[in-house]
Structure 1
Amino acid sequence: MIQMEKYDVAIVGGGVAGLTAAIYAAKAGKQTIVIEKQDRLGGRAITNKKKGAYFNLGGHALYHGDALATFRELGLHMQGNQPSIDGYGIWKGELSTVPTGVKSLFTTPLLSWKGKMEVAVWLGKLGKLDTHHYDQISLREWIEANLHDPMVRNLFYALFRTASYVVAPDLQAAGPVLKQLQNSLQGVMYLDRGWGALVDELRKKASEYGVHFLTNNKVKCIEHQKGIVQHVLCEDGTKVRARNIIVTTSPAIAYQLVPHAEATALHTWKEQAIEVTAACLDVALRRLPKPKQQFVYGIDQTVFLSNQSRAAYLSEDGAQVISMFKYQGMETNPEKDLQELEQTLDLVQPGWQSELVVKQYLPKITVCHDFMHIKRQENPGPAVPEINGLYVAGEWASHGELLADASTASAKRAIEHILLLEEMERTPNYEHRDIV
């Protein structure tokens, strides 16, 4: 057995949450190590290069939320651009402009005059809305109570799907996805060379702060005694002792890694988790048969298409890299989902097959392991209350944030909790009524 030196913070998982937590821990002067089972870091934020095209694991967009603010605070360069949101909607098998601004609002054939007025009112209201008022009600309840025109409702369902990847309006909490829609109205960012470039920057920043990395090493279990964490045991026998351990795996794997997890909050978090998945088709085309049709919402279909090359460098030879999703519910069918995505591409870019350079199909990729839904008993983390020194982070450990924003926010919550507890131990009379 390889005994490693004792660390202040050991992080299981080297994705966005793990790397963010590592940087903030090391910045605070903590001896920090990241343990990753793969031979490269990034988790689901990796980018694969195929025939000169950069493909993420499904399309990724950076919203104006916690993740973007965090990466800017850390001084990351994040090369890329904000795309135009001029777009189309698919309704009854046909493409029509969707209202994304004043001109398209008044020219779209999808809405009646009354519907256009209702959208105009809501476009003015959305930015100022206090979304927390709607944290405890479902998205469907919010839509049915606040939107009246049937097509306006359909459009908003499509917008909410796109902002969150979730197809569960009766379960999804309205407040968080309304907040995400507010963020999206400020625009999104597509990253040059994909999210792998962002991961490279995070890794470099972590290394600059002295973070250690143990890659290609799978964790077997996280040992604890008398309610206190002891060490991380890897499958090759490596034992990493640490005062604090942050688990950034899925809730199911976190539960498996911790002995007697059934007696902890990890059980609740695993049981309440509802996984969100999508089928993703990415293609690199030599040219676009229909250059104006680059951004498309499915209105009566749960599909979405975006040419990310319109804002980011994603190909070495000028090919256009298009990402498409089929947002999935509980039932999935790989062949049917691929057929639907290819039919979408046929409609938006007819003749695309003759321009194809390379494609990537992911029939069922996890978008997030849990989301803010009204059946949640509690928000996960940052601390596992029954085991001192054990924490969770990841896109599923959300306290209202979505996707990458939840990854960075939960990572920072864990580090804040660790630092606050240490401050309390150093100062016996330290007064703080609530540990975040």
Structure 2
Amino acid sequence: MQKYDAAVVGGGIAGLTAAIYAAKAGKQTIVIEKQDRLGGRAISNKKNGAYFNLGGHALYKGHAHETFMELGVNVRGNQPSANGYGLWKGKLITLPTDLKSLFTTQLLSWKGKMELASWLMKFTKMDTHGYDRISLREWMEGNVRDPMVRHLFYSLLRTASYVVGPDLPAAGPVLRQLQNALNGVKYLDRGWGELVEELRKIASELGVRFITHNKVMTVEIRNGIVQQVVCEDGTRIAARNVILATSPSIAHQLVPFSEKTALQTWKEQAIEITAACLDVALRRLPKPKQQFIYGIDQTIFLTNQSRAAYLSDDGAQVISLIKYQGKENDPDEELRELEGMLDLAQPGWREQLMVKQYLPKITVSHDFMHINRRENPGPAVPEIQGLYVAGEWASHGELLVDAATASAKRAIQHMLHLEGKGRNILDEHRGII
């Protein structure tokens, strides 16, 4: 029987972050990952010399960036130029991203330009927490007057959150994500797999042990207290604390009688965000200026990440396209839409194609802050002593990778807090939005 202070189930960004903070606190820590490599949805695939993420990835200057800096992670990459276009009624029109383009763009009327300029100034200092209990549509309809400015904001906020519609997202978190985006975005050299490797190295140096290609089957509980995790190959790992850095549905499956715990609520309230993603590596760009496009009347986004990051060993240009998905999706039709965007942005791209990757439906986030949510997940499962959750779905107001790192830190902080108090405190984590 192997014994640990903390066992982390899942080796993605949340799991690695949790393991590092547990180890930094002096806890004997192990990470169990069912795949043969760490990273989860942050892995990168190298194809014909090009580095592809699992869909378009960008690191905003939010919680995750601050966490990586705090941990000493060497985040290699650069900030791309924001100069780009909006796709409106089949045409590419200059986006208002700076003073010159604001006054020359044909997207907006003069009144619209003035309103947009005013909002961009307000965003930097705006306290968004007052909008955490209303939908994005409610905020937009109540605050933005010009119809085209609304269209533009919907496009920007859709790209920041990956959520296709405005009726479900709580406005506050999405607006905060846009604030982070305005503070700066970084594309990472050689993809996010390099970030995962950096986190693995830090964890290893702190003494974290890793088991890969081994699936956890159950978390054994006795008298409401975590005892051990049992793996598919029969390995048993005794642990005083278990952090489930998995999806809410898997967390629910791993815990006996989970229907009697908060895991049931978290599973039931979860709304998955998905996207269709097309990545291509081109020998050269037929239209070098058309590298960054927001779909305004279409739920599509295009960016050439090679304009700011090293993503090819032989100089190819790696372009990512995203189709934000709702409940209904058609893989073939969405591929045609994404390729149609490429036809418009980079005509003749097929003659320059070196390699491509199409992911018809990838999970972006297992849940997010939406107006139908009953409570915020984690960090602790209150009915079971020593059990915690982490992941981008365990958000308390953060989005995407920011939620992954924030929830991981919350889990470890809560664990240490309980241990410092001899675990004799009442549940204090479950905020209702």
TM-score tier, shorter chain, comes to over 0.9
What does residue 282 of structure 1 align with? 279
Among candidates 297, 317, 338, match of residue 335 of structure 2: 338
Are 1:423 and 2:420 counterparts?
yes
What does residue 306 of structure 1 align with? 303
By how many angstroms is 1:219 displaced?
A: 0.7
Q: How many residues align?
A: 430
What does residue 265 of structure 2 align with? 268
What does residue 21 of structure 2 align with? 24
Tell whether the 8 Å contact from 2:382 to 2:427 is kept in structure 1 after alignment. Answer: no
Match of 2:378, SS state, is: coil
Tell whether the 8 Å contact from 2:56 to 2:321 is kept in structure 1 after alignment. Answer: yes
Are 1:12 and 2:45 counterparts?
no
What does residue 226 of structure 1 align with? 223
Among candidates 235, 240, 243, match of residue 240 of structure 2: 243
What does residue 351 of structure 2 align with? 354
Tell whether the 8 Å contact from 1:248 to 1:394 is kept in structure 2 after alignment. Answer: yes
What does residue 98 of structure 2 align with? 101
Tell whether the 8 Å contact from 1:46 to 1:195 is kept in structure 2 after alignment. Answer: yes
Distance 1:30 1:221 in 2: 22
What does residue 137 of structure 2 align with? 140
Distance 2:139 2:287 in 1: 37
Superposed CA deviations along residues 136-184 of structure 1, whole A, max 9, x for unmatched, are 0000000000111111110000000000000121110000000000000
Superposed CA deviations along residues 252-293 of structure 1, whole A, max 9, x for unmatched, are 111011110000000000000000000000000000000011
Superposed CA deviations along residues 324-357 of structure 1, whole A, max 9, x for unmatched, are 0000011111000000000000000011000000
What does residue 111 of structure 1 align with? 108
Amino acid at match of 1:64: K
Distance 1:433 1:353 in 2: 57
Tell whether the 8 Å contact from 1:134 to 1:173 is kept in structure 2 after alignment. Answer: yes
Distance 1:76 1:234 in 2: 31
Aligned-residue CA RMSD (Å)? 1.3
Identity %: 74
What does residue 168 of structure 2 align with? 171
User: For 1:38-77, what aligned pairs fall within 5 Å after superposition?
Assistant: 38-77=35-74
Tell whether the 8 Å contact from 1:87 to 1:98 is kept in structure 2 after alignment. Answer: yes
Match of 2:318, SS state, is: strand
By how many angstroms is 1:422 displaced?
A: 1.2
Amino acid at match of 1:59: G
Tell whether the 8 Å contact from 1:167 to 1:327 is kept in structure 2 after alignment. Answer: yes
Tell whether the 8 Å contact from 1:244 to 1:390 is kept in structure 2 after alignment. Answer: yes
Tell whether the 8 Å contact from 2:303 to 2:319 is kept in structure 1 after alignment. Answer: yes
Tell whether the 8 Å contact from 1:420 to 1:435 is kept in structure 2 after alignment. Answer: no
Distance 2:57 2:295 in 1: 18
What does residue 216 of structure 1 align with? 213
Amino acid at match of 1:383: A
Distance 1:385 1:425 in 2: 15
User: For 1:74-93, what aligned pairs fall within 5 Å after superposition?
Assistant: 74-93=71-90
Match of 1:274, SS state, is: coil
Distance 2:377 2:340 in 1: 39
Match of 1:189, SS state, is: strand
Tell whether the 8 Å contact from 2:300 to 2:321 is kept in structure 1 after alignment. Answer: yes
Distance 1:99 1:257 in 2: 49
Amino acid at match of 1:167: V
TM-score of the pair, normalised by structure 2: 0.98
Distance 1:49 1:344 in 2: 24
Worse-superposed segment, 357-366 or 161-170: 161-170
What does residue 128 of structure 1 align with? 125
Distance 1:435 1:25 in 2: 19
Superposed CA deviations along residues 40-68 of structure 1, whole A, max 9, x for unmatched, are 00000000000000000001100000100
Amino acid at match of 2:32: I
Among candidates 352, 359, 371, match of residue 374 of structure 1: 371
Are 1:257 and 2:254 counterparts?
yes
**Which segments of 5 or more consecutive residues in structure 2 lack a partner in the other structure?**
none
Distance 2:168 2:120 in 1: 25
Distance 2:144 2:415 in 1: 44
Are 1:154 and 2:151 counterparts?
yes
